[in-house]
């Protein structure tokens, strides 16, 4: 017993020193731009303390475990007690908490290695990558810790279950209030007139399930209620194990990556940056339309007229998508920031967006080439809208955007929002194909079309009326097959907590001998409150007592 207490004291020092050392390292890596002498002195002190605590605790544990193994003479019993140790569970949970904090707060997960090299520097970024901190929730050691915690939880539950099982389900809980139990439980003695039936009804009125037995002129009573409350903690344990199982399924078989899709296009290639690989989805995602929503548009959608200096700022961005499977559309919907789209076991998030450098939508005016110089109004034939990746039909022509640029003078300025677009429209008419250039300037358009001999016989001239650049949408696609299992585990945890905290296991023993009733009682929780209420309830029996007014005596 002395060895156990020493081991616990060494364990407390180990935990405190480990937390201090880890906190010092985290502060130095992620919070300090410059690390001076004071920091390195603190780092050296915490590391020395942790090293001392680790060696000291390891030595004490080795001595203690050697004695335990010698005493038990059983490897299985020794391993079982080690795995059922509460200190093991505490240390595992501390490690999981630290790793989870790193993965959710300090190190953005599932990014390409270049991202970490740029953000943390070559050395730190490289080691974060090699140590799986960049994908910590799927790392082998994180999964291993969860498995070890599950084994510890099972061992702890199994070790303590037999005693609870005996007190809850077996006949051994039906004990008579004999002289030995009377002294042990400090039974109360009162003088009563009621019959044994009235005593049984009295206990039943208090919510107890009453068992009665007669022997040798004495009547024994045993009552209990809330016996399943003791199992609430085991329901919680089962729920936690189910949650862990769901998390492991997600970590091993779940996927998370990004699909980059230009407007009007579709893709089934899921890029997984953390592993620098890509996989094929069992379906294609088609991006029908992409929209940037300003705060002003957001207020208008909600029917609110609200003035704000940020009305032109971006409030959200959203994509209209279709799911194509086996060449057929099977689902469609919209995904936006904080509004995912679900398809089967897959969840699609709007993650990012950008310009592709091409035309997304263009409206062109069509004029008759022969009539245009004489009377432009009569020469006007009509307008047609072209969309990237789509074919438009106008009169006897099929039209589509073949090539385009956002700024014909400086391509980089086009990506910065300075648009001077130009595009080549592919036209199919009367069995012949034509490439018709269209530029933002009407003069440049006429000049460009006049320089192409192939267009000499083409009867129309095109002018650009409206233009919108093509965006790409970065959609994050994830599949988490363990999510339903995690929900089931959460329900079990809540149910177990309700069972454990809102029901109480209570017992009462009584022995009726003549006019003397001996009563003892027990409560798993809220003992003093139950004692006060139970003693007050006993006053009902005393009303039929010929010596009414005397206080109960204890024996």
The verdict on residue 241 lying in a domain is: no
Q: Which residue has the higher pLDDT, 80 or 19?
A: 19
The verdict on residue 352 lying in a domain is: yes
The verdict on residue 315 lying in a domain is: yes
Among candidate residues 111, 141, 163, the one where a domain is terminated: 163
Q: How far is CA 347 from CA 138, 262, 335, 351, 481, in A?
A: 19, 19, 10, 12, 11
Domain count, the chain: 4
For the stretch 51-104, pLDDT in tens is 999 998 888 877 877 777 777 666 777 778 778 888 888 889 989 989 988 888
Segments forming the whole domain that contains residue 39: 2-163
Assess whether 27 and 132 both reside in one domain.
yes
Q: Can you give the pLDDT at residue 489?
A: 93
Q: Tell me: pLDDT of 152 over 50.
A: yes
Give the pLDDT band (50/70/90) at residue 286: very high
Assess whether 136 and 46 both reside in one domain.
yes
Assess whether 389 and 257 both reside in one domain.
no
CATH number at residue 219: 3.30.160
Q: Tell me: pLDDT of 255 over 80.
A: yes
Among candidate residues 117, 136, 163, the one where a domain is terminated: 163
Q: Can you give the pLDDT at residue 6?
A: 46
Specify the range with the lowest mean pLDDT, choosing from 3-17, 30-44, 181-195, 216-230.
3-17
Q: How far is CA 264 from CA 355, 492, 517, in A?
A: 13, 46, 87
For the stretch 393-436, pLDDT in tens is 998 899 999 999 999 989 888 888 899 999 999 999 988 999 99
Q: Can you give the pLDDT at residue 308?
A: 62
Assess whether 152 and 201 both reside in one domain.
no
- Cα angle 221, 197, 538 (rounded to 5 degrees) comes to 65
Assess whether 367 and 516 both reside in one domain.
no
Q: Tell me: pLDDT of 41 over 70.
A: yes
Closest CA to 261 of 105, 507, 474: 474
Specify the range with the lowest mean pLDDT, choosing from 113-122, 147-156, 165-174, 441-450.
165-174
Specify the range with the lowest mean pLDDT, choosing from 103-112, 177-186, 299-308, 497-506.
299-308
The verdict on residue 247 lying in a domain is: no
Among candidate residues 134, 163, 192, the one where a domain is terminated: 163
Residue range 245-253: mean pLDDT, rounded: 89
On whether the pTM is more than 0.85, the answer is no
Assess whether 181 and 105 both reside in one domain.
no
Specify the range with the lowest mean pLDDT, choosing from 174-188, 237-251, 396-410.
174-188
Assess whether 159 and 183 both reside in one domain.
no
Q: Can you give the pLDDT at residue 71?
A: 74
- Count CB-CB contacts under 10 A for residue 282: 10
Assess whether 291 and 328 both reside in one domain.
yes
Q: Which residue has the higher pLDDT, 259 or 228?
A: 259
Q: Is 503 helix (H, G, I), strand (E, B) or coil?
A: coil
How far apart are the C-alpha atoms of 303 and 316, rounded to whole Å? 17
For the stretch 131-150, pLDDT in tens is 888 888 888 999 999 999 99
Query: Strand 506-513 and strand 218-225: pairing?
Result: antiparallel
Closest CA to 295 of 286, 307, 280: 307
The verdict on residue 63 lying in a domain is: yes
Specify the range with the lowest mean pLDDT, choosing from 186-195, 295-304, 454-463.
295-304
For the stretch 513-548, pLDDT in tens is 888 888 888 888 888 888 888 888 887 776 654 444
Assess whether 16 and 136 both reside in one domain.
yes
């Amino acid at each position: 017993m002395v060895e156990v207490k020493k081991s616990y004291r060494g364990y407390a020092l180990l935990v405190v020193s480990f937390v201090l050392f880890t906190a010092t390292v985290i502060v130095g890596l992620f919070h300090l731009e410059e690390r001076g002498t004071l920091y390195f002195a603190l780092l050296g002190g915490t590391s020395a303390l942790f090293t001392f605590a680790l060696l000291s605790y390891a030595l004490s544990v080795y001595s203690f475990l050697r004695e335990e193994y010698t005493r038990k003479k059983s490897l299985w019993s020794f391993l079982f007690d080690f795995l059922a140790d509460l200190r093991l569970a505490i240390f595992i949970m501390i490690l999981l908490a630290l790793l989870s904090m790193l993965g959710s707060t300090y190190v953005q997960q599932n990014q390409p290695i270049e991202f970490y090299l740029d953000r943390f520097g070559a050395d730190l970024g490289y080691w974060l990558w090699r140590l799986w901190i960049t994908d910590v929730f799927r790392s082998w050691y994180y999964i291993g810790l969860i498995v070890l915690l599950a084994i510890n939880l099972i061992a702890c539950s199994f070790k303590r279950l037999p005693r609870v099982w005996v007190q809850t389900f077996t006949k051994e809980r039906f004990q008579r209030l004999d002289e030995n139990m009377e002294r042990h439980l400090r039974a109360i003695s009162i003088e009563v007139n009621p019959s044994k039936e009235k005593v049984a009804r009295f206990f039943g009125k208090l919510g107890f399930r009453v068992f009665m037995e007669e022997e040798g002129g004495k009547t024994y009573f045993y009552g209990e209620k809330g016996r399943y409350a003791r199992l609430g903690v085991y329901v919680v344990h089962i729920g936690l194990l189910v949650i862990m199982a769901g998390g492991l399924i997600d970590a091993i078989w779940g996927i998370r990556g990004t699909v980059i899709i230009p407007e009007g296009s579709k893709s089934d290639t899921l890029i997984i940056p953390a592993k620098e690989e890509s996989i094929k989805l069992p379906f294609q995602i088609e991006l029908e339309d992409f929209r940037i929503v300003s705060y002003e548009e957001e207020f208008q959608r909600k029917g609110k007229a609200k003035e704000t200096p940020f009305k032109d700022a971006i409030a959200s961005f959203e994509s209209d998508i279709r799911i194509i499977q086996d060449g057929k559309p099977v689902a469609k919907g919209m995904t936006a920031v904080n509004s995912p789209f679900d398809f089967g076991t897959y969840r699609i998030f709007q993650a990012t967006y950008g310009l592709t450098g091409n035309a997304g939508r263009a409206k062109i005016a069509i004029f008759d080439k022969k009539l245009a110089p004489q009377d432009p109004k009569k020469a006007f034939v009509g307008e047609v809208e072209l969309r990237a990746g789509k074919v438009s039909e106008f009169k006897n022509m099929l039209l589509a955007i073949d090539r385009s640029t956002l700024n014909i003078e400086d391509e980089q300025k086009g990506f910065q929002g300075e648009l001077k677009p130009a595009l080549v429209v592919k036209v199919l008419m009367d069995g012949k194909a034509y490439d018709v250039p269209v530029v933002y300037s009407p003069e440049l358009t006429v000049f460009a079309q006049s320089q192409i001999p192939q267009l000499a016989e083409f009867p129309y001239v095109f002018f650009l009326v409206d233009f919108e650049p093509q965006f790409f949408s970065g959609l994050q696609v994830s599949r988490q097959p363990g999510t339903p299992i995690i929900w089931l585990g959460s329900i079990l945890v809540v149910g177990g907590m309700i069972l454990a905290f809102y029901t109480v296991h209570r017992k009462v023993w009584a022995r009726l001998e003549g006019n003397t009733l001996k009563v003892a009682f027990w409560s798993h929780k809220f003992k003093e409150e139950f004692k006060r209420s139970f003693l007050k309830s006993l006053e009902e029996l005393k009303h039929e007592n010929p010596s009414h007014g005397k206080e109960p005596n204890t024996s």
